[in-house]
Every structure is written in C-alpha cells, then in structure tokens.
Chains A and B, each alone.
Chain A
C-alpha cells in the first residue's frame, strides 16, 4: 500500500509507537515477544502465508518485536540497534511495510495453536494495527465507519435506520405479532448488529422465528448498538472500542437478560463475551452466548427435534467463535443431529483453516464498497487499492479452503459468522466448487420440530 509521504505525519507515528508499546506490556505479551524461536512453524497455519511468506505470523510480528526490543531490553538498545535487531522508530518505508503486514492479519489465532511455543502472533500484530490507527495510517473507509460507530452518529443515518426498521417489520411478519423490543428481564436478549441486518436479514428473521416457536421469553433491540460493535477493536482503535463497549454494556445491563444471544460468531463474540468485560472490569449478570450454544442446550433438553437432511454437510469453525471463543462442541451437537452424513473438514477445531476473513479487510470489498456508497463515504484511491488487494489472500486461502470442502465432498458448508459466509461464498464461486455456504440457522430453522411447549 503506497502512502504518499505528505500524508504520513512522522511525528504522530513516533508518538503512536511510544504510546502503544510503553502502555501495554504485560507478562503474556512479554512472553510472546521473547519466547519465539523463529522456527516458522506458524507459517503452516496463517491464511496469509499462501499469498507470501512475508505475511507469515513470525515475520509480521517481528516488526513489533524490533520496537519492543529497543524499549525493553539492554541489548536492544545497544548491540541490537547496530545489527538491526531493534528499532527506536520506523522509516517511512518501514512504516508502510508495517501497515501492510498489519492488514494482512485477521487476528484469527490460528498461529498460536500451531506454534510450539504457543505464541499468539496476532496479539503482537494487533499492536501494529493500533500504531497505524493512531498515526492515521489505517484505511480511511474503515476509520470513517469506526468513527460513525463510536460517535453514535450512525443512528442518524437513514440507510441504517431503514435497514433496521425493515428488519423489525420482517420479523413481525414472520412471527405474526409485535416484536418484543427492549423488554427488561427477558430470558434471551436477541442481539444483532447493523452489519448483520445488511449481510443476512433472513437469518435474523429465522432466529426470531425459532425463539417464537420455542415460546421463549425474548426481546430484540429497537435500535442497533453499533455498525458492527466494537469495530474499533478490529481496526486498531482501542479508545473508540472502549466507548462503544461502554454503550453496549450499559444496554445489556439495563435489559438484564439471562442470555445475550449472538447470531454472529465473528470478532463480536469474543469481544462482547470477554474483551468488553475484561476491559471494563465488570462481572456481567448475564451470559453472552452464540445462538448455537443455546440451541444445542435446548436441543439436549429435548425442547425440539431436528428433522435430518440426507446430504454431506460440514461445519466451518469461525476463528473468533472457536479458537478465540472456545465454542466447538455446541455447533457439532446440532450438526450431527442435522445429518448423519456430517463430516469434519480436514482442518477443524483449533486447527480450522481461516477463510482469511475478507482477505484482511473487515468484510468483502464489495460489501465495504456498497456500505461506503450508501453512507456517502468517498473511497479514496489508496482505499480502492487496499480493498482490491484484499482479493488476493481470499483467492489464495480459498484454494486451501475449497480444496478441503471438495475433499470431503460437502454439499453444504454451515457456519456461524457473517464474514465467513461472505468469504467462503466468494471462494466457492471463484473455484466453481459444487457446494453452498449458509448460516447454520438458515438450514436449521426449517427443520426444527417443537416437542415441548
């Protein structure tokens, strides 16, 4: 990504480096910084390595290590500088490389499980993303979207308002009655974001239908809590993310349900389940769960039966739901009930091969373009180049992903994250594979038979 010199404020960049690196060191990060043996085992796991070995986790994280060494080690300040092992600041060219590396990581966590030293390179690369954001070097279109979310101004945008209201009326039509909105003390708070309302409104309608069919005490949100909150976490805007998390937490606490149920298993899941409470240092009275967790629980309680399909189906573990969130078993309970021909992908569980999550962006370029257009955000030439570049990892990682799907001859790939659905669909189309990708609820909703009222 070429960034014209005039656009980069080197002073801001240096300040950002100092701020990020001096403020966040803890023993976990320290371990990641110093324990790496440079064995490159992590190459095998990263969805960006097929694009270039330069995007291998250890190579990307090395930039963070160099900045760390200068600040926290004696040799880094002395000999390390002379032999290139540490850096006080980055030159313009190095900073461009840093930004390029940072956006070739979706923080999927795959590298951590494959690393013999259990090093989460994603966590170190995230520091680089924070530096880039603070220095104003992240893609502008994402910065604009994050700013809209953090400021709360997204609520004033007609495009969003209309999509949300149309979602509520679709739900109303589907359940044949008024949608319970913002009802305090319900068992389930059905949570969704604007992004989901745009990406798969039908899935959300089906979730509501299931809740209604099962006669659950549930409620939906009259207004969305963000575009894809807390999107700041993905683009390196920690302060913005904290602001958004405060808003989300206060709504959750106000409604005070037993469960906050997410349909999305992308970064929202670990963010709202863990990061939000860890950051705000609060112990929630509710529990944040993915829709598959509750459905599996209700299924095991025999509240409904599932009419099985007669085809080979497989489950793609969304990285944030599985590796980062720890949800592996629940979707499998449902998948096994959905088809006797359920097969695991060759790489699954903690080794699930990441779809590259939009190729390093926060969604497919087409989706971002459409959203930007609807919001009146101009896409600059740099952003256009950036978005175009995200196709390459999607294609390269897609070769492996689609290869795995073909290997087990799965007709239906089910998953639980809007970006996984978009990305894998793109990859399946690109390679003309004979398969479909859907949210698990999409298929499940029509096959649920209620057994107990």
Chain B
C-alpha cells in the first residue's frame, strides 16, 4: 500500500521491502543454522573415556564453577597482558556492538515487535542521539503524553549524555577502523585472511554507517531516510541470513566452544 506524504509515496522505498523480508530472513537463518549444527551431529563420535573416576583427581563443585568463569575470562585476561591494544579494541567493540544492537531504543522496539517478551528490557533503553541525552539531563525533559513503557532516560539518567546511539556509533566506527587496519597489517605481512572475515566485517561496517546516516537524517529528506533505513535493515538481513556461513556465527558457537573446553578440561579430566 502506498500512502501519500507530500509528493513522496511511502512504500515506494527500500523500507517496506526490508520489513517484508525480515521473516524470510529469519527462516533462512534457521535453515542455515540447522545445517551448520546438523553437520556436528552427522560427524559426532562418542568420546571413549578410559577412566570413569580417578583417585588422584578430585575437584570440588565450587572449584568447578570457579573454573567455568575462568574458562570464559581467560582469553581476555591473557590478551590484556600480551596484546593489550588489540584485545582492548576487541572487547570495547563487542561491548559497543551489543549495546547498540540490543539496547538502542529504536532497535529495542524493532525486536519487541517480533519477540514480544523483549519488552522486559525496555527500562534499559538508551536514546538515539546525544542531544536527547543532554536535554534529558539539563531540562529534565519527559514525554508530553504518558506512555505505558518507561521513558528511555529513566535508568541511565545523565549517563545518556555519553551513552547514546550517536556516540557509541562514533566509537564503533573508530574501533572497526582500527580493526580494519589490523586486517591490512595482516595482509601486508602475507598472513592468511579469509573471504568470510571480509564479508562479515564489511557488511557490518556498511550497516553501521547506513544506520548512522538514516538516524542522523543525512541527507535530510524523507525519501533518503526511508531508503537509508531500508538499506540499513536490508544489509542487517543479509548479515543475519549469512551468519551461519560466516564468522558472525561465533556469537552462538562461542558458548559451545568454551563449555566444551570446561567440560573436557575441568569436569571430565577432573584436573585439580
């Protein structure tokens, strides 16, 4: 359906297309993810465990739990010691990305639209722009009309002056820029790079920039806005759809790998 808005027809842009494609994207994602997971089952061989128990290797339950935390924290701990710059960039980048994807107010509404229980997280919403944050702080602005959900600034308060979509995006662009530099360094050193890395990374970079342009209304026109927002969602959809074939899937497999490590090193082997 096309609604007139001035001389612009809403619906005549990438935006509705992107929205229409979201459900198929999710299906495609599930299909591909199942394929990836199925492969693990297909080649699974039950490990042969020679020792059921072992007299010299008792580990207390508290120790096992402590080691589970250690297992997850170890890469960051060692990384900060031996490769502080890249590790710090990596950690900050992940943190910023998680905040943007899951807590930016606009994104939260998007997620809640498809997954209703997501609303529980609404009180954690962060505003889109630094101006919103500043106004909330200096003028204690609150909505004119009452809403059934908490106001976006409630929990974060003055922190929203820095904790907002705009600044986090700047940080992300810089961090991903450093990351890009890291990749070029590897390229110059003749170290192996993979197409899957570039694909995921470049799409992410483009997507962040598209999202930033759309929300900042650059260029300032409704037609551009709809197309940019549509493109932002479309690129995100390509990212999601191809996730199981790229490094992006580490957001799920990370847990698998670490729990597997803990199970074999701490639980099964019972190292003290």
Contact = CB atoms under 8 A, between A and B. Distances in A.
A287 B56 contact: yes
A344 B77 CA distance: 17
Contacts, number: 142
Interface stretch (B42-50, B169-177, B232-240): B42-50
Interface stretch (A143-151, A161-169, A324-332, A335-343): A324-332
B245 A75 contact: yes
B43 A30 contact: yes
B34 to A, nearest CB: 15
Nearest to A82: B195
A78 to B, nearest CB: 12
B141 interface: no
Given A281-B48, A326-B57, A351-B74, A41 B192 contact: no
Contacts of B193: 38
Given A118-B260, A278-B50, A53 B56 contact: no
A369 to B, nearest CB: 33
Contact of B257 (A35, A56, A58, A284): A35
Contacts of A296: 56
B257 A119 contact: yes
A72 to B, nearest CB: 8
A180 B254 CA distance: 52
B194 A113 contact: no
Contacts of B49: 278
A282 interface: yes
B135 to A, nearest CB: 39
B197 A114 contact: no
B48 to A, nearest CB: 5
B240 to A, nearest CB: 17
Interface string A36-48: 1111110111000
Interface residues of A, number: 58
A281 B57 CA distance: 22
B119 interface: no
A249 to B, nearest CB: 11
Nearest to B247: A37
A287 B271 contact: no
A283 B40 contact: no
Among A25, A31, A37, A296, the one with the most B-chain Cβ atoms within 10 Å of its Cβ is A37
A416 to B, nearest CB: 14
B189 A44 contact: no
A297 B81 CA distance: 34
B54 interface: yes
Nearest to B55: A287
Contacts of B186: 40
A38 B197 contact: yes
A62 interface: yes
A422 B51 CA distance: 32
A25 B87 CA distance: 32
A122 to B, nearest CB: 14
Contact of B272 (A25, A274, A328): A328
Interface string B260-272: 1100010001111
A71 interface: no
A56 B269 CA distance: 27
Contact of B87 (A41, A80, A287, A330): A41
Contacts of A366: none
B75 A326 contact: no
A81 to B, nearest CB: 12
Nearest to B259: A118
6 contacts: A25-B43, A31-B257, A37-B247, A54-B191, A83-B195, A113-B74
Q: 5 shortest A-B CB distances, which residue pairs?
A: A326-B271, A329-B272, A277-B50, A118-B257, A44-B82
